[in-house]
């Protein structure tokens, strides 16, 4: 009995030990299970099949056309990158293709915020490219810091968006203030060359948005720095989407200015310049800020669009090989050449994001954000060929000045080293 | 500003009033007979603009003439819309939620139809007349605006004559004044409503086609014009055709001359401030004021 007892005990001890060991092993496995599967999940989340990019643009509504063109630029860049296998992500040890998650905000400020929140919170995106126009960009820009997702705008240029101390926002467009300043620098260079007289009077009519305000700031900064060169005699703003500008133009006429500078979106530019011409107004030089060369405007205005000059972020005739390649690829994919800067900045937004992901070697959003602050795209399509974000997240590429010429021609007229034609400083009657 | 500048402003305001009248009269016809606020107004204006564009590209005649063709085409479209959906909305003496929702939904459908067919690109009509002007002393008159004003005026005269001298016109006026009395007098309310809806859409389409000669447009076109039409219709007294014309002149004059005292970026707000003031002080609009004045005489 004793033996039996001992055996029983011993017998009972060994199975108990085995049971205990088994329990420990099973328990450990059970404990390790979620951890192990957690590791697997983390790897799977870290190295998905594709790099998901949220895109929120106005595809319809007031800004539908530029928004659509920007989406086309993004898609072209993604397609070309994906054709090479995608972006190399070091922590995954392989190339991953881009995958778009696109939303149309219908040019609506409220809707655009909702959609950016949605894609940042629910779509598992590593970054968001969004917003054409400064007003939609302003609305979207409050969201990225909340969700800590890098956000790149290829179409919002107003610097107040980037000067709020936000850490997760980036903009490919140089500040609109620089546009106003460059426009004046160009006019100043014409005074230096004796093509314009000193002391000419300037009338300014801009849209009452951050875009317009900043343009005026740039003009005023240059005028202040160069006293006596020009005199601003009229400065008025208007509400976007105007149907009648006769009052504002009549008052401008009374100011008797020599040069007319405006900053307007495409539809307002067309409406205003039609009325301007119909009212028989004449100035020596006319500009609508960054507008002027767009094909719909030239169709809508006919010869009245000739000699308008514009400060632009990009033009398809920039003499860089990468621009030529881009224009060819664009034509191949969409059966037309780009007629505005819209697809080019969007294209570069994808390329600089790809460069940042490669530099980060990871799909971790913070690493990508940090890399975006450091990377330089040295074959950028934009003037100067180098795209880099400043500390506030906004790019600072230079503007070039172009002037429409008869026969749908466009000449680069400033800076001097990129000049392709003579500037006309007195619009012929 | 000199006298010439002020006269130029006045001419611009009167020409603008012609455009405003043309685009508001359709809304008034529909409200008068059917007591429906046509929230699809902007959608039909947009279709009118694209109609003018398509016709101008297909027919070798002036876009202004093809714009006039919009009236009969949109009359038929209006009849079809009434037969297909609007007639199912219960008849009432004031705008009802179903009618508002139906027409708002129709606007969205038309807008999306526009995007599907024409895309989001800015379109425009450009002819040698687009930028032509003639001078009368120091006054500069844009030819295209003058022609659009003339067509709008002629169509108003045609509307006035048809309302005064045809059985349909008398039916419309009767139903506008008192639906039940009209029914008792033997008016076929269903048929009159259908024709009135067709007429309203015909004017709206015509206005859109005319505006296409002045502005660039996208499928989003018409929204700001619809809001102005609403202001003018309320100012006119909702059901009065002469009130609409006077209302359009008032809105155009105020908007144009306000630049002399108010910053230009408040120009849009002025119409809506006017709307609030009219609703508070003059709920019957100009027509109500005229009726009161006639009674006092």
Residues A304 and A387 in one domain: no
Looking at residue B180, its pLDDT comes to 83
Residues A99 and A143 in one domain: yes
> Token pair for residue A34?
């979620």
Which residues on A lie below 8 Å from B218 (Cβ)? 62, 64-65, 267
Q: Which chain A residue lies closest to B265 (C-alpha atoms)?
A: A238
Q: What is the 3-state secondary structure (H, E, C) of A212-250?
A: HHHHHHHHHHHHHHCCCCEEEEEEEEECCCCCCCHHHHH
Looking at residue B228, its pLDDT comes to 87
Cβ of B259 within 8 Å of Cβ of A237? The answer is: no
Per-residue model confidence as pLDDT tens digits over A144-201: 999 999 999 999 988 889 999 999 999 999 999 999 999 999 999 999 999 999 999 9
Residues A356 and A211 in one domain: no
Cβ of A279 within 8 Å of Cβ of B267? The answer is: no
Residues A281 and A408 in one domain: yes
Mean pLDDT of B171-193: 85
Residues A206 and A274 in one domain: yes
Residue A238: partners with Cβ closer than 8 Å, 6 or more residues away: A205, A206, A207, A208, A245, A248, A268, B264, B265, B267
Looking at residue B242, its pLDDT comes to 80
Q: How far is A164 from chain B (nearest CA, A)?
A: 26
Residue B230 reports pLDDT greater than 60: yes
pLDDT confidence tier of residue A4, bands split at 50, 70 and 90: very low
pLDDT confidence tier of residue A270, bands split at 50, 70 and 90: very high
The CATH number of whichever domain residue A262 belongs to comes to 3.40.50.2300
Per-residue model confidence as pLDDT tens digits over A394-428: 999 999 999 999 998 999 999 887 788 999 999 98
Residue A256 within a domain:
yes
Residues A268 and A413 in one domain: yes
Per-residue model confidence as pLDDT tens digits over A299-311: 999 999 999 999 9
Residues A1 and A112 in one domain: no
Per-residue model confidence as pLDDT tens digits over B94-103: 778 888 999 9
Question: Pseudo-torsion of CA A333, A337, A342, A346, nearest 10°?
Answer: 40
Q: What is the mean pLDDT of chain A?
A: 88
Greatest mean pLDDT among A87-96, A238-247, B277-286 lies in: A87-96
ipTM: 0.83
Higher pLDDT, A305 or A239: A305
Residue A225 within a domain:
yes
Residue A39 within a domain:
no
Whether residue B13 lies within 8 A of chain A, CB to CB, comes out as yes
Which residues on B lie below 8 Å from A246 (Cβ)? 8-9, 12-13, 16, 256
Residue A38 within a domain:
no
Residues A250 and A267 in one domain: yes
Residues A127 and A184 in one domain: no
Residue A22 reports pLDDT greater than 50: no
Q: How far is A339 from chain B (nearest CA, A)?
A: 12
Looking at residue B224, its pLDDT comes to 81
Looking at residue B47, its pLDDT comes to 96
pLDDT confidence tier of residue A46, bands split at 50, 70 and 90: low
pLDDT confidence tier of residue B160, bands split at 50, 70 and 90: confident
> Token pair for residue B183?
């029914």
Share of chain A above pLDDT 90, in %: 74
Residues A86 and A63 in one domain: yes
> Token pair for residue A36?
């192990």
Query: Residue B234: helix, strand or coil by DSSP?
Result: helix
Residues A322 and A304 in one domain: no
Per-residue model confidence as pLDDT tens digits over A364-397: 999 999 999 999 999 999 998 999 999 999 999 9
What is the tally of structural domains in chain A? 3
Residues A190 and A279 in one domain: yes
Q: Could you list the residue range(s) of the whole structural domain that residue A16 is in?
A: 1-33
φ, ψ for residue B19 (rounded to 5)?
Answer: -65, -45
Which residues on A lie below 8 Å from B264 (Cβ)? 236-239, 247-248
- Point out the residue among A236, A239, A254 whose CB comes nearest to the CB of B268: A239
Residue A425 within a domain:
no
Residue A77 within a domain:
yes
Cβ of B16 within 8 Å of Cβ of A246? The answer is: yes
> Token pair for residue A293?
């060369």
* Residue of A34, A162, A267, A280 lying closest to B139 (CA atoms): A280
pLDDT confidence tier of residue B117, bands split at 50, 70 and 90: very high
């Amino acid at each position: 009995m004793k033996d039996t007892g001992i055996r029983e005990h011993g017998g009972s001890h060994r199975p108990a030990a085995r049971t205990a060991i088994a329990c420990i092993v099973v328990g450990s496995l059970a404990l390790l299970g979620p951890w192990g599967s957690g590791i697997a999940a983390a790897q799977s989340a870290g190295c998905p099949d594709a790099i998901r990019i949220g895109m929120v643009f106005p595809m319809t509504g007031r800004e539908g056309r530029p928004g659509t063109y920007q989406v086309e630029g993004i898609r072209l860049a993604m397609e070309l990158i994906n054709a090479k296998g995608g972006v190399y992500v070091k922590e995954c040890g392989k190339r991953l293709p881009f995958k778009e998650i696109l939303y149309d905000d219908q040019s609506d400020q409220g809707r655009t915020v909702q959609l950016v929140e949605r894609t940042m919170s629910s779509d598992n995106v590593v970054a968001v490219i969004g917003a054409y126009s400064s007003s939609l960009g302003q609305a979207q820009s409050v969201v990225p810091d909340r969700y800590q997702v890098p956000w790149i705008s290829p179409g919002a240029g107003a610097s107040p968006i980037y000067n709020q101390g936000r850490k997760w926002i980036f903009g490919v467009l140089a500040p609109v203030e620089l546009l106003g300043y460059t426009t004046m620098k160009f006019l100043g260079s014409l005074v230096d060359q004796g093509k314009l007289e000193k002391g000419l009077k300037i009338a300014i009519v801009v849209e009452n948005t951050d875009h317009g305000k900043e343009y005026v700031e740039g003009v005023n900064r240059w005028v202040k720095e160069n006293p006596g060169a020009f005199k601003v005699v009229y400065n008025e703003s208007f509400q976007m989407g105007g149907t009648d500008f006769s009052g504002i133009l009549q008052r401008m006429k009374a100011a008797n200015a020599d040069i007319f500078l405006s900053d307007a979106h495409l539809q307002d530019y067309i409406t205003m310049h039609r009325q301007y011409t119909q009212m028989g107004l004449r100035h020596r030089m006319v500009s609508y800020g960054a507008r002027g060369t767009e094909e719909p405007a030239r169709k809508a205005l006919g010869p009245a669009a000739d000699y308008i000059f514009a400060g632009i972020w990009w033009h398809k005739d920039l003499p860089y090989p990468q621009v030529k390649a881009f224009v060819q690829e664009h034509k191949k994919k969409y059966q037309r050449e780009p007629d505005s800067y819209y697809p080019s900045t969007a294209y570069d937004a994808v390329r600089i994001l790809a460069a940042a992901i490669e530099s980060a070697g990871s799909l971790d959003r913070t690493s990508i954000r940090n890399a975006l602050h450091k990377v330089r795209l040295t074959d950028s399509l934009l003037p100067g060929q180098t795209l880099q974000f400043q500390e506030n997240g906004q790019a600072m590429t230079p503007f070039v000045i172009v002037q429409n010429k008869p026969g749908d021609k466009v000449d680069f007229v400033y800076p001097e080293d990129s000049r392709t034609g003579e500037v006309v400083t007195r619009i012929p009657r | 500003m000199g006298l010439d500048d002020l006269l130029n402003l006045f001419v611009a305001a009167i020409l603008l009033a012609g455009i405003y009248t043309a685009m508001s009269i359709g809304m008034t016809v529909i409200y008068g007979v059917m007591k429906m606020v046509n929230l699809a107004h902007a959608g039909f204006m947009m279709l009118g603009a694209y109609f003018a564009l398509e016709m101008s590209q297909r027919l070798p005649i002036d876009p202004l003439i093809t714009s006039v063709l919009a009236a009969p085409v949109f009359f038929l479209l209006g009849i079809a819309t009434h037969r297909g959906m609007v007639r199912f909305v219960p008849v009432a003496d004031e705008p009802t939620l179903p009618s508002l929702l139906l027409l708002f939904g129709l606007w969205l459908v038309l807008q999306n139809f526009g995007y599907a067919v024409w895309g989001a690109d800015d379109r425009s009509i450009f002819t040698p007349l687009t930028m032509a002007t003639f001078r009368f002393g120091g006054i500069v008159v844009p030819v295209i605006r003058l022609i659009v004003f003339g067509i709008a005026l002629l169509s108003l005269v045609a509307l006035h004559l048809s309302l005064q001298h045809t059985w349909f016109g008398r039916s419309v006026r009767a139903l506008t004044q008192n639906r039940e009395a009209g029914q008792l007098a033997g008016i076929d309310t269903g048929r009159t409503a259908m024709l009135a809806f067709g007429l309203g859409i015909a004017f709206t389409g015509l206005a859109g086609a005319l505006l296409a000669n002045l502005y660039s447009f996208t499928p989003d076109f018409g929204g700001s014009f619809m809001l102005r039409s609403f202001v003018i219709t309320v100012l006119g007294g909702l059901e009065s055709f002469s009130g609409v014309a006077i209302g359009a002149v008032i809105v155009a004059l105020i908007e144009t001359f306000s630049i002399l005292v108010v910053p230009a970026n408040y120009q849009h707000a002025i119409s809506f401030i006017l709307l609030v003031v009219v609703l508070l002080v003059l709920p019957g609009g100009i027509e109500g004021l005229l009726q009161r004045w006639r009674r006092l005489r």
